[in-house]
Amino acid sequence: MRPLILLILLAIPPALFAGPTNSILFVTQVPIPGDFTTVGSVFGNHRAQPDICGRGGDLYIRYANGTIRNLTRAAGFGAYGPQHTNGIAVRQPCVHWSGTKAVFSMVVGAPRFQYDYSAVNYWQLFEITNFTDSAAVPVIIKVPNQPTNYNNISPIYGTDDRIIFTSDRPRDGQRHLYPQLDEYEEAPTVTGLWSLQATNGDLF
């Protein structure tokens, strides 16, 4: 029986063991020790404070030939070394149906120094284009007409090109109801799924 299994395995074409044949978009994330309402938690992972989501992550692509490229750095975002002031974090990229652009969440900025409580940053939606060619300079722009001063995460493209995402924006943007709290731990939570037409700001 064992020789038969060995012959079957040897008969499998080598191509089945080959690496990916398409490009892969992915992010890196600085580890956070805590696991309650931090960026790696199952729930309450949507906030952007540095102690909840460390700066230093980036958006990367692995091209079909195995080359890996840091797209956010190539587009002028992020920093090597100390992450104060201009540090970034990136999460949840989603490629468009056309394969020519992608949407993702990014927080830009960090406290300038220890105990700098004036720095308030939020996850916002960004789109990247011109990244499929490894020799081209990628272009990253902030998605227009999205809710500002709120955390917008988990974006995907709808079939009608609307962007569907989760946010902690209160209903109708009533700031005095921010942040919304869950019913179990009374911890900050997202308020649900939102749909945005970026060209005109239609949001529901």
Domain boundaries, the chain: 17-158
66 three-state secondary structure: coil
> What would the pLDDT profile of 125-156 be if each residue is shown by its tens digit?
999 999 999 999 999 999 999 999 999 999 99
Q: Are 135 and 74 in contact (CB under 8 A)?
A: no
Residue reference for tokens 């916002």: 124
| Alpha carbon distance 26, 42 (integer Å) | 19
pLDDT of 32-74, one tens digit each?
998 899 999 999 999 999 999 999 999 999 999 999 999 999 9
How far is residue 106's CA from residue 127's CA, in Å, rounded to a whole number? 10
Strands 163-167 and 152-157: antiparallel
Strand, coil or helix: 17: helix
Between residues 140 and 82, the one the model is more confident about: 140
Instruction: Write down the residue that tokens 């970026």 correspond to.
Output: 198
Which has the higher per-residue pLDDT, 22 or 17? 22
Whole-angstrom distance, CA of residue 148 vs CA of residue 124:
8
Is the model's pLDDT at 170 over the cut of 60?
A: yes
Global confidence as pTM: 0.89
Quickly list DSSP for 142-169: EPTTPPSSS-EEEEEE-TTS-EEEEE-P
Q: How far apart are CA 1 and CA 21, in angstroms?
A: 34
